Structure 1
């Protein structure tokens, strides 16, 4: 990581606009379809690790059989694993950025994933700080009004 990016990771992001601005610098704009899983530490800074995940499922509500969870939705699996990683890394909350090529308009797939992940975070009691879209021209925050 460059020194500039390191200093970005040391900024206290006490407002979502500040978090969006840092993600704009780090992620810039979409080049493919993938999900970024990120964490906030106890200082209110972006914590480690920053994890891109391509090839996430199309439908967050598809039910899958998982050995340790049983029959659950794809969103449940992702949020459960995000919660485990948050605890293992000592972070306080989860941040998700949905990267996809296109405009900053909220698409049906954005809405479906954001809603499903917000619901899973509540059911599993995983603190979800915020969700964003990384689009062809930058980063946009997804607010509950965008997906509920």
Structure 2
């Protein structure tokens, strides 16, 4: 788990453009395929921890059997666990960044993961603040129009 830089951690990110600016400083550009799980605190600032997770599943809609959840999709599992971490850390919302090599255009896998996670967040009543793509040239926000 990575701790955020103190000066960045204390910035109130009340608009998605401000959040995007901070993620551009923190994440810069893609190095590998991984998902960043991040949180927003009750001040509207980026909370701790920042958690990179490589080797996440290829298909968010694959159904898996999980002891405490039963038969659910991979996206459901990830959002459920993210929601648990949000509560344990005292944060108020979740931010996701999908890091992958390639252009800044929205790819099929970006769309599938973003849609599945948005649906899981809604089903589980987990506040999902925003989703981003970290690509080879930088960071861009995923808007619902990009994946719905």
What TM-score does the superposition give when structure 2 sets the normalisation length? 0.97
Look up the match of 1:143.
Answer: 143
> What CA RMSD, in Å, does the superposition of the two structures yield over aligned residues?
1.3
How far did residue 6 of structure 1 move? 1.5
Structure 1 position 22, deviation (Å): 0.1
* Match of residue 17 from structure 1: 17
Aligned to 2:130: 130
1:46 aligns with 2:40: no
> In the superposition, relative to structure 1, how do residues 14 and 62 fare at CA in structure 2: closer, same or farther (>3 Å)?
same
SS in 2 for 1:30: coil
8 Å CA contact 2:3, 2:49 repeated in 1: no
Whether the 8 Å CA contact 2:36–2:96 is kept in 1: the answer is yes
- Residue 2 (structure 1) shift: 9.4
The unaligned stretches of length 5 or more in structure 2 are none
Which residue number corresponds to residue 111 of structure 1?
Answer: 111
Runs of 4+ in 1 over 6 A off after TM superposition: none
Runs of 5+ consecutive residues of structure 1 not aligned to the other structure: none
